[in-house]
Amino acid sequence: MSIWAEAKDQSSSKYLITYLSLLFVFLLTGLLRTLVHGYLIVNSSTVLHDKMTERVARAEILFYDSNPIGRILTRFSKDVVTLD
């Protein structure tokens, strides 16, 4: 950019087109990164919650005897809030 500032012919549109192209690529990359990151987080939290639900549903009776239902529900809600 310092070369562009020192250029004698600053009225040329090639500098503006180059600058706007770089800006567009930067914005597009940021948007794409945000969408991919959001998708990965939602997908991982869904898989984790499904696995956790399946494991609790298939747990032995001893697990329910030693843990009250309130503690299990609190744990589920804490994990879901953290992942959301």
**pLDDT digits 0-9 by tens, 29-66:** 999 999 999 999 888 888 988 898 898 888 888 888 88
According to the model, what pLDDT value does residue 84 have? 58
* Locus of tokens 């770089």: 22
Considering the chain, what percentage of its residues have pLDDT values greater than 90? 26
SS (H, E, C) 42-71: HHHHHHHHHHHHHHHHCCCHHHHHHCCHHH
The domain ranges of the chain are 12-83
